[in-house]
Each structure stands twice: as C-alpha cells, then as structure tokens.
Amino acid sequence: MLHLNHDDHISTHTLIVRDLGLQDYQPCWQAMQTFTNQRNDITPDELWLLEHPPVFTLGQNSDRRHILQQETIPIVSIDRGGQVTYHGPGQLVAYTLIDIRRKGLSIRQFVTKLEQAVIDLLAQDNIHAEAKRGAPGVYVNDEKICSIGLRIRRGYAFHGLALNVDMDLRPFQNINPCGYAGLKMTQLAAFNTSPHFSQVKKRLTDSLMNTLEYHYQHQQGALS
C-alpha cells in the first residue's frame, strides 16, 4: 500500500504535486481509490507523477480480444473507462485526482483540458498535435502519443493520462491500443532524440496548472 502525507489546510486553489518515481501499478491504484473515497469538498486536488513497471491495464468494459498476444507482462483489470493500454518505464503517467464539480467542469470538458495541456506541452517542442473527437487522447500525424482514461466518482476524478516520452513501444504491438485495431503509437523521443524526463514532468505540471487554472503549486512527497 502506498502511504501519503496529506495537508487538509492547503487552499483548494492549490494543486498538490507528488513526484512518486517508479511505482508498481496495483498499490497506486489502491491509493487512488482510498484518496477518492476519503476526500471531501474541501480536500485539495492532487497530481501524481510516476512511471510503472511493464503492465497492461483493462478498462471496466474492455474486450479481452483486444489483447492479441499473451506474454509475461501482467494484465490488470481496473475501474477506469476505456479499453486496453500499456504502461512501462519511460512513459510519464499523470494521475489527476481532481474535483471536477468544484472546477465547474463536465467530464468532456475535463478531458478536453487534459488533452490541451499535452498539446500545449508538445507545441513547446514544435510538435503539432491534436485531439480527436470520440477517441480521447493526443495524436501526432494520426499516431497516438498520449492516452487518457478516467473514473469519476461523486464528481471526483481519478486515473488520468499517460504520455509516451522515451520508452519501448513494442508491447503496444501485442494489443489493439485503446481498442483500435492498427492504431500506431509514437513518443516524444521520435521527435526529440533526447527528451529529459524530469524536464517533461515539470513542463507537463506547468501546462496542467495553466489549463486547469490553479493558482498555487505545493510539492509534496510520499511515504512508502
């Protein structure tokens, strides 16, 4: 179980940012559920930045036929929306634990803001990216560079986005990513030969802060 320090006295206009490093998938998922179940209307929102060891995750209504080839990588069925995706080292995962009711956002508006934050980040590297209506995520030349999968409970969002930075993309060939046969995946390293992961984390945080209109950022670590 991942144990987190919380400070309920921080302003609700503040985004608490946690850089959690490399974390196994299941403890993070359980920690997100616990946080969401225990939060209330004045709990500050949080952004968790991390990487996962190799894992395939299946959304609530996933069709296992989208797993084309079984291998040694674990498969975990979880409670987010969407179909199957892959997480692995070199992919920046951002869990957005956001009270979207307090933000005055619909689910669609929230997804759009997440997409726009990534589009704005990529534009800093002169990479033209776009979102696609009906297929959440961010695309460059019709190849997917960022996946989005969310769960909303009582107006509280959890799970989030996964941005491919500099990773082994081969496991994506064993699935229909996000349920789309033939969908090709790409990553930041295809356009920037040496992306600095720590810099990408900071830039994504800044972009999300701007897009979601937070006034303050509070860095906070984790206890394990």
Q: Could you report the per-residue pLDDT of 39-52, keeping only the tens digit for each? A: 999 999 999 999 99
Q: Give the pLDDT score at 224.
A: 42
CATH at 95: 3.30.930.10
Rounded Cα distance between 99 and 28, Å, is 19
Q: Is the pLDDT of residue 38 over 60?
A: yes
- Domain count across the chain: 1
Q: Do 163 and 205 contact (CB within 8 A), yes or no?
A: no
Rounded Cα distance between 158 and 223, Å, is 20
Q: Give the pLDDT score at 62.
A: 72
Q: Is the pLDDT of residue 146 over 60?
A: yes
Identify the CA nearest to 122 among candidates 189, 74, 76, 61.
189
Q: Give the pLDDT score at 2.
A: 61
Domain that residue 196 falls in = 3-223
Helix axis angle, 107-123 to 197-212, nearest 10°: 140
- What does the mean pLDDT of the chain come to? 89
Q: Give the pLDDT score at 66.
A: 64
Tell me if residue 28 is catalytic: no
Identified catalytic residue from 122, 178, 188, 200: 178
Tokens, residue 222:
């984790």
Q: Could you report the per-residue pLDDT of 161-217, keeping only the tens digit for each? A: 999 999 999 999 887 777 777 889 999 999 977 789 999 999 999 999 999 999 888
Q: How many residues does the structure list for the chain?
A: 224
Q: Give the pLDDT score at 223.
A: 35
